[in-house]
Structure 1
Amino acid sequence: MGKGDRKTAKGKRYNASYGNSRKHNSVVGVTAPVTAKSVTKAPAKKAVAKKAVAKAG
């Protein structure tokens, strides 16, 4: 079990991957990325119907 074994922490470090054998802990003092904010979209603009003008005559 050495560098090529992806199930060990040494193998995870060699392959630059994270998993159950090599937990990826965040640095103390650094906040987690902000989750997506709930954005309210403006209602879609509706086409204004033109009024028919009655012709006099």
Structure 2
Amino acid sequence: MGKGDKKSKKGKIFSKSHGKSRPKPQNLRRQKKQSPEVENKPTKE
């Protein structure tokens, strides 16, 4: 349960990955989901 443990929070921080024990920040996920929807809106011509 240290830096080498890929399932623990400390191990995820050490290996620079995310998952159940270390989720990504919510605001980053929301920005990625919203940006494609805004760009693909049709315009009236």
Structure with more contact order per residue of length (Cα contacts < 8 Å, sep ≥ 6): 2
User: How far did 1:19 drift?
Assistant: 0.4
Give 4+ residue runs of structure 1 displaced > 4 Å after superposition: none
Between Structure 1 and Structure 2, how many residues are aligned?
Answer: 36
Secondary structure in structure 2 of the residue aligned to 1:14: helix
> Normalized against structure 1, the TM-score is what?
0.52
1:12 paired with 2:32, answer no
Seq. identity, %: 36
**Equivalent residue for 1:21?**
21
**Equivalent residue for 1:35?**
36
User: How far did 1:26 drift?
Assistant: 3.8
Secondary structure in structure 2 of the residue aligned to 1:35: helix
**Which structure has the bigger radius of gyration?**
1
RMSD over aligned CA atoms reads 2.0
Q: Which runs of 5+ in 2 are unaligned?
A: none
> Normalized against structure 2, the TM-score is what?
0.63
